Amino acid sequence: MIHTVINKSVSYSKTYITELMLPSYANVEGRIPSGILLGIMDKAAFTCASRHTGFYCVTASIDYLEFLTAVDAGEIVHVIAAINYVGNTSLVVGMRVESENIRSRVSKHICTSYFSMVAKDERGKTQQVPGLILETSEEVRRFMEAMIRKQSNLKSKIAFEQKINELDIYQNLDQLKKERCEVALDLMK
């Protein structure tokens, strides 16, 4: 099947998911575990990316995820997902997660995150994704921020791998004295 690639706007695939956090989701403290929230976010990223591309998309990575506050059972969670960046076969879905207390109507910002998604055909082969039509200055800013994030992550990954390759546990044992660990073997043999 020939798949025609036509550029699409951010608004074309923008996705909203709203879900009540049931008591059955909660831990013993009545809080919603992060895995439940990640599952909802993954559904939003999949839906957004797949609508944009016309293919099923898989999550390749999650860039920076910090939960700012807890979500309680009984609150409503809102996930807003939008395409921030497109490459050749991948795209970045930016997400904002908020929770709302039903009784007080108070909303809380839970997290913002970026999921990298890859488009796959029926045989599992990666596919070219449509370009992105940027219609607002906010969309242009988000696209440019994603470009910077991508470059920064690559530099960070290279620097990390270099440090790992240069690691010598025998020469760096003194670094562990500042940490909350105890070396229970003789490494000086």
Distance CA 185, CA 156 (A): 32
Taking CA atoms, 170 is separated from 8, 163, 173, 175, 178, in Å, by 55, 15, 6, 11, 16
pLDDT digits (tens, 9 = 90+) for 54-99: 999 999 999 989 999 999 999 999 999 999 999 999 999 999 999 9
Per-residue buried b or exposed e for 127-148, using 16+ beta carbons within 10 Å of the residue's own CB: bebbebebeeeebeebbeebee
Evaluate the CA torsion angle 23, 24, 26, 29 in order and state its sign. positive
Query: What is the residue whose two structure tokens read 């797949």?
Result: 50
Q: Which residues of the chain have pLDDT under 50?
A: none
Distance CA 62, CA 64 (A): 6
Q: What domains sit in the chain, N to C, each tagged with a CATH number?
A: 8-133 (3.10.129.10)
The pTM of this model reads: 0.88
Tally of CA atoms within 13 A in the half-sphere of 106 that contains its CB: 5
Q: What is the pLDDT of residue 28?
A: 96
Which among 102, 83, 103 is positioned nearest to 93, based on CA atoms? 83
